[in-house]
Amino acid sequence: MQLMGRLNHFRSIGRGISWFSTIVLLASVATVVADDYAPQVGSSHVAFTLPAIDDGRPVSLAQFRGKKVLLIQFASW
Amino acid sequence: MPVWHNKTKDWVAAGKLVVLGITQEQHPDRCRLFAQWQNFDWPILWDPINILESTAVPIIIAIDEHGIVRSTHPRPETLEAEFLNVAFLPDAVGEAITNSNNAAQQPTRPDIAALQQQAQQEKTAGAQLEFADAAILWGGTTEVTTAIDAYSNALIQAPDDGGALFRRGVAYRIRYDSERRQPDDFQKAVLSWEQALDKNPNQYIWRRRIQQYGPRLEKPYSFYDWVEQARKEIVARGETPVTLIVDPQGAELARPALAFAVAPEEVKSPDPAGRIQRDTDGLIVPEIILVPSRVRPGGSTRVHIALAPNSELRAHWNNESEPLVLWVECPDGWKVSQSRHVVAPLDGQPTSDETRRIDFEVQIPHDAKGSIQLQVFALYNVCEDKDGVCQYLRQDLLIPIQVNSEPQ
C-alpha cells in the first residue's frame, strides 16, 4: 500500500498499517494524569457503551463477555 | 494490508477474538470512510467527547473473556500464544459479572429525557454532565443545544473541569457542522478546547482537536489529506465512498511546516483605492474564527473566514460573473501565507447560496502586544430576490487578534 511509506509516522500507525511501534513510541510520549484512562493488567476494564459509527446502535464492552476482545482506540488522522 | 488487520481477520473468522474499535475524532463519518477504505470489518464506536479519558491514540488493549485486562501492549507475534490460547481465570468481580444476568446482554441507549429531568432536579455538576454526555452521544443534533447548556451549567459549579470544557467544545463544533449552527459556534468550540488544554496541557486528544484547525507550525501531520486518495481507491474497486457531512478543507488538509510558509505570488490588491461599492445591506454575512484564539508574539494563527448569503434578504451568489476574491493585507512585520484567495463558483449553477470558506495563516510580529488588527476584504457578485438586483460588492473585515503575552 502507498501508506507503507509512512511507517515511521504517528499517523500511518493510526491508519492501521503497523500498531506496534507507534504504541511503544506513544507510551513514552503520553503522560497519564490522575483520572486519565489507565487500564491495569489484572484489573477489570472500565465499562462503556458507545454508539457504532455506522448506524448509531449502542455497543458495550459487556456484551462481549465470554469472548476475548482486542480493543483498539484510534483516529483516522 | 495492515499487519494487525490481517492477523485479526484470521482469529476473528476462527471465533477466537473480537476486535472492537473506538474512534476519538470529531466526525464519525470520516472514520467510516477510513474504515471503508481500509476494509475494516469490525465494529467501530464513536467517542468524540473522550468519555474514556484517553490521553493518546492509538491504544490497543487485550481484554479476556472475563473483562479483565491482560495486556496493555499486545504484540501480533505473541498474541496467540500469550492471550488467545490461554484460558484465563476470572477474579471475583469478573466471575460475578460473567455469571450474572447482566453478562452479554444487549446494551440499550440511556433515557435522555430522564437524565435531563434528573439534572434539572438535582442541579449537581455530575447530573448535568451525565445528561450532556448522553445527549451528545445519543441525541443527535436535536439535543446538542441542551447539551451545551448542561455542560455550561456543570462548569458554573466546577469551572476547572477540563473534561467538561473539552466536551462543551465538541458540542459547539457538532452544532456548527449542523443545520442548527449559531453564530460563533466554531470560535466558542476553539475557546472551550483551549480552556480545557490550559487545565491539562498533556491531554494529547484535546490538543489534537485544536491542531486539526490550527496553523501548520503547530501541526504534527496533515489530518485528512488521505480523503482524496481513499475516495479514488474506493471508486476504483467499484464501491461508493461514504458521503461526508462536512468535507475537510484548508487547515484540515494542510501539511505541517517547520517555518512559516509564504506562497510565492506576485499579486496586487484587487481594489487598492477602495473604489468598489460596499455591501452596506449585509447581503453576505461573514464569520471569522481564529485558531488559536490568542497568539504569542512572533506566533501564528489560522484565520478561518466563512461567507454566507443572507437568507433573510434572500441573497445568493451570482456564479456567472467574477468569482469571490478575498484579499489579505500584510502589515509591516507580519507574514501572510497567501494574500489573494479565489473561490470558484459551483459548476453548472447560475446562482447558489452555499457558505464559502477560506482559511489562511498569519504570523504576527515578535513585539506585538495587546490587541492588533488584520485588514481583509472580500469582493463578490451577489444577487438578492427582494428587488432582483445583482451587484459586484466589497466587504471589509477588520480582524482583531489578541496577543497572548503569558509566559510559556
8 Å CB contact of B40 and A16: yes
Which pLDDT does position A28 carry in this prediction?
34
Q: Are residues B392 and B286 in the same domain?
A: yes
Given a cut of 90, is residue B97 above it in pLDDT?
A: no
Q: What is the pLDDT of residues A14-66, one digit of tens each?
A: 454 444 444 443 433 333 333 688 899 999 999 999 999 999 999 999 999 99
Helix (H, G, I), strand (E, B) or coil at B401: strand
- Nearest chain A alpha carbon to B199: A33
Which residues are CB-contacts of B236 (< 8 A; sequence separation ≥ 6)? none
Q: CATH number for the domain including B201?
A: 1.25.40.10
Mean pLDDT of B325-333: 94
Q: What are phi and psi of B41, to 5 degrees?
A: -115, 25
The set of cell numbers assigned to B18 is 473480537
Q: What is the ipTM of this complex?
A: 0.91
Q: Are residues B207 and B263 in the same domain?
A: no
Q: Are residues B185 and B281 in the same domain?
A: no
The set of cell numbers assigned to B377 is 476584504
Given a cut of 60, is residue B109 above it in pLDDT?
A: yes
Q: Are residues B191 and B121 in the same domain?
A: yes
Which pLDDT does position A35 carry in this prediction?
65
C-alpha dist (Å) from residue A18 to A7, B75, B76, B222: 7, 11, 10, 18
Which pLDDT does position B5 carry in this prediction?
73
Q: What is the pLDDT of residues B131-166, one digit of tens each?
A: 999 999 999 999 999 999 999 999 999 999 999 999
Of B58, B108, B137, the CB nearest to A22: B58
Residue B228 lies in a domain: no
Residue B392 lies in a domain: yes
Q: Are residues B390 and B268 in the same domain?
A: yes
Q: Are residues B266 and B395 in the same domain?
A: yes
Residue B224 lies in a domain: no
> B312-322: b or e for each residue (b if 16 or more CB lie within 10 Å)?
ebebbbbbeee
Whether B340 and chain A come into contact, CB under 8 Å, resolves to no
Using CA atoms, how far apart are residues A50 and A48, in angstroms rounded to an integer?
Answer: 6
Q: Are residues B263 and B398 in the same domain?
A: yes
Which pLDDT does position B92 carry in this prediction?
57
Interface of B with A in 65-104 (CB under 8 A): 65-76, 79, 83-84, 91, 93-94, 97-98, 102-104
Helix (H, G, I), strand (E, B) or coil at B13: helix
What value does the mean pLDDT of chain B take? 93
pLDDT band at A1 (very low <50, low <70, confident <90, very high): very low
Which pLDDT does position B104 carry in this prediction?
56
Q: What is the pLDDT of residues B344-360, one digit of tens each?
A: 887 788 999 999 999 99
Q: How many domains does chain B have?
A: 2
Range of the domain at B277: 259-403
- Between strands B44-46 and B18-23, the pairing is parallel
8 Å CB contact of A19 and B3: yes
Which pLDDT does position B303 carry in this prediction?
97
8 Å CB contact of B91 and A50: no
Residue B132 lies in a domain: yes
Candidates B45, B107, B44; CA nearest to A62 is B107
More confident residue, B393 or B266: B393
Measure A28 CA to nearest chain B CA, in Å.
11
- Nearest chain B alpha carbon to A60: B107
DSSP state of B104: T
- Report chain B residues whose CB lies below 8 A from the CB of A61: 20, 63, 67
Which pLDDT does position B128 carry in this prediction?
98
Q: Identify the domain boundary among B176, B211, B246.
A: B211
Interface of B with A in 165-204 (CB under 8 A): 200, 202-204
Using CA atoms, how far apart are residues B286 and B382, in angstroms rounded to an integer?
Answer: 14
Q: Angle, to 10 degrees, between the axis of helix B125-138 and the axis of helix B162-176?
A: 30
- Report chain B residues whose CB lies below 8 A from the CB of A49: 107
**What is the C-alpha end-to-end distance of chain A, expressed in Å?**
17
Q: What are phi and psi of B394, to 5 degrees?
A: -125, 140
Mean pLDDT of B91-97: 57
Length of chain B: 408
Other Cβ atoms within 10 Å of B279 Cβ, number? 21
- Report chain A residues whose CB lies below 8 A from the CB of B143: none
Q: Identify the domain boundary among B211, B237, B268.
A: B211
Q: Are residues B312 and B395 in the same domain?
A: yes
Which residue in the block uniquely carries the three cell numbers 449559531?
B182
Measure A1 CA to nearest chain B CA, in Å.
7
Given a cut of 90, is residue B28 above it in pLDDT?
A: yes
Residue B344 lies in a domain: yes
Given a cut of 70, is residue B295 above it in pLDDT?
A: yes
Residue B30 lies in a domain: no
- Report chain A residues whose CB lies below 8 A from the CB of B74: 70
Is there a contact between B169 and B193 (Cβ–Cβ < 8 Å)? yes
Residue B179 lies in a domain: yes
Residue B274 lies in a domain: yes
Global pTM value? 0.89
Which pLDDT does position B6 carry in this prediction?
75
More confident residue, B219 or A4: B219
Q: Are residues B265 and B399 in the same domain?
A: yes
Which pLDDT does position B3 carry in this prediction?
65
Q: CATH number for the domain including B332?
A: 2.60.40.10
Q: Are residues B207 and B272 in the same domain?
A: no
Which residue in the block uniquely carries the three cell numbers 489579505?
B328
